Structure 1
Amino acid sequence: MIGVIGATGNVGNGIVRKLVEAGEDVVAISRRGGQDTPRTRHVAADLARPEQLRDTLRGAQAVFLMVAGSGAGLDAHAIVSAIAESGARRIVLLSSIGTLSRPNAISHEPLRVLEAEVKRSGIGWTILQPGGFASNAMAWIAGVRAQRAVAAPFGDVGLPIVDPDDIASVAAVALRDERHAEALYTLTGPERITPREQARALGSAIGTPLDFLELSRGQAAEAWRAFMPETVVETTLDALGTPNDIERRVSPDMERVLGRPAQPFSAWAERNANVFR
């Protein structure tokens, strides 16, 4: 059995699906739980009460761990200890490239602490550090539907954003294969792509050309403060507007693990075109 904490997210949902397809039994843990399906038992648990995990994960050989947002306010030591005490032999942690590329950013300190706890847990670990998600484009749904337009800052700054389905594929491999223990993988897409180019690819996927409206840094910050802490807003804008070499680099780790290149943004757009129409 394999445990998946954060089983209903963009990555977790894909991991559950891939594990079941590979013949694994899964305990899928999320805040609200869900309806059991063949080979999958859904459990509601809150990471703010990590003691719930110990018994829930009993019998799991490996556990995928992701936390909402940056994990601020959670007891990283208690969460990782509960996983180890359940008897699991491996942890696969979903972190962020920002822990590496922005080592002094306050916004990523909780994830740095979580990485450290996983490394000293006493069991096998794999840490995934993805760049920006292709699925962040979901924030454009309302504008695409109503105005046939994408509004974003830094329209001509390219980054190698990654498909969450590819992250799920790497996680599923690491959960099943002990050879990935003590490995840290940086996960990116196969090429740098700008927001303007993303809008063009999305328009092609839905069969309707889209306008691109470039937001100023201040306009983007004002909009994002409605759902992001201030420190996260500023770090995100820095990474999008003035990315450093780590954030701009196309990593080979995806292909090393999966034996194939990462999927481009256009593939993500094609799979998700219906939600924008």
Structure 2
Amino acid sequence: MISSASSRSNPSSFLASLLKPSTRTQPAPQTRTQPSEGASAAALRNKMFYTDSFESSPSARTQSLPPTPTTRPEGAGSDPLGADALVPASSHDASKDYPALSYADDKQYNGQPLGFWKKNVWDSAIKSGAAPEEAALLVAQVMQEGGTDFNKSGDATNYGPFNLNKDLLQTYGKHLPDDLQKLNGSSPEAIDLNVRNALDAMRAVGANNYLHHVRGGRTNFEHPGQRISDNPNVKGDDAFAFERSLTNNARLFLEAFQSNPSSLTDHQRFASDIPNI
């Protein structure tokens, strides 16, 4: 993950109501037992209900969002949880999480500043049908990872701004390009591919198991309680601590965005001081 910024080494009300998943549910149609509301009034009410600056067709987005698996995916070490459960429930606890960091970052990652990645990953995720919590979790990964780490090989080879490894991509990705190197660019097409494959994996195994795999590969995916590092700074429940830290950062980003939408394009990083494994 981070070399200058990665989870494997140290990195130096209206809008809120729109972002709640419950507001995206199709309202029950009016019946003939409610004569007080005319057709034109009902049409206006529905139009106002669906006003959303993030997507042009919220009903289509909701229908495209598959549920979190209800049973443990084959090989996964934990029961699956969706981002919509993980992100709102997260809370900072220094005894359980890696120390949180928040600072303005003027570095370039894969040739682009942090604000570029935050906005383009968010926009791509929402366009692809992500719930706000899923999109925020992907932004949290970008804020944590920084640039692509090219120091891995084999099934552990990392690709794209999320540093997803080859094993995860080939096992769970449904939108893989003919050459995985195409994931390493910063074009809209490359970002869309990275986002869609990350969402594929997150929805196939649950957001928690996805983060375990991101942190420690298949070993932590299957055995998230297993210690896989000799680094004494790595927590004993590292895969879970990584999961908690990333979801904390996603929540902080989402809260900042709800409070001030312009924060989507700024260079403020919400990350964690996560040691090498």
Same fold (TM over 0.5): no
TM value normalised by structure 2: 0.27
Structure with more strand by fraction: 1
State the structure with bigger RCO (CA 8 A, min sep 6), 1 or 2.
2
TM value normalised by structure 1: 0.27
